[in-house]
Amino acid sequence: MKYPRIWIAAHGGPGKAILLPELPPDVLRVLARHEISQYREEVAERPNAPVDVLEFLSKDSAYRVRYAVAHHPRTPREVRQRLARDHVKRVKGMAALWLRGTASNYRERLVAVADRHFYPYEGLLKHLAVKDRSKIVRAAAKKELERRGEESWTKATSARAREALEMMELDKRERES
């Protein structure tokens, strides 16, 4: 694309453009340099984010942006190795989880939750319990947090995990019938 900034302006500015389901790579490159970290985080979460953009965002000052890069499936191994040494535990934990090869599918993430040797820290478990795309992983992470006696959960988070468990039971019943 020759003029990505004009494309962004024509689509209502960066705040509206970032909400579009498909963004061209050149537009993502421009938004990756935006001053608002939420936009940079959204770029890092895009499935079509170019590798060079992920490498650039891995050095971002906002830890949420680096975390999104660590969680992105297209992030190169050397970038994840650097993020595994990050000063923020949440970023470090997610990068380490991917480096162990346990974040590529839900069964492996589920094993990572239950692995007593890895013993994921509470922040990572909370993230998996709330934001993981798999209901099963969310429920397992919630159960592991309860097993550990974690009491800092909000009612909303508990309700979401309870809902995930109920959905799992409904799915199981549907498969059986």
For residue range 3-60, list pLDDT tens digits in order: 778 878 877 888 888 877 788 899 999 999 999 999 999 899 888 899 999 999 999 9
Distances (CA, A) of 74 to 52, 98, 102, 105, 136: 10, 11, 15, 14, 23
Q: What is the spatial distance between Cα 133 and Cα 90, in angstroms, rounded to a whole number?
A: 18
Q: What is the spatial distance between Cα 144 and Cα 46, in angstroms, rounded to a whole number?
A: 29
- 110-156: pLDDT as tens digits: 655 555 444 455 666 777 788 777 787 788 878 877 877 654 445 45
Q: Is the same domain home to 90 and 168?
A: no
Please state whether 75 falls in left (phi above 0), alpha (psi between -120 and 50) or beta: beta
Cα 61–chain centre separation:
17
- 92-102: pLDDT as tens digits: 888 887 777 64
Q: Is the same domain home to 123 and 81?
A: no
> CB 17: neighbour CB atoms within 10 A?
19
Q: Is the same domain home to 90 and 164?
A: no
Q: Is the same domain home to 4 and 75?
A: yes
Domain residue limits at 129: 105-177
The residue among 53, 68, 99 that closes a domain is 99
- Per the listing, tokens 């936009």 go with 39
- Residue 131 pLDDT: 76
Q: Is the same domain home to 88 and 22?
A: yes
Q: Is the same domain home to 124 and 156?
A: yes
The residue among 65, 82, 99 that closes a domain is 99
State the pTM of this model. Answer: 0.57
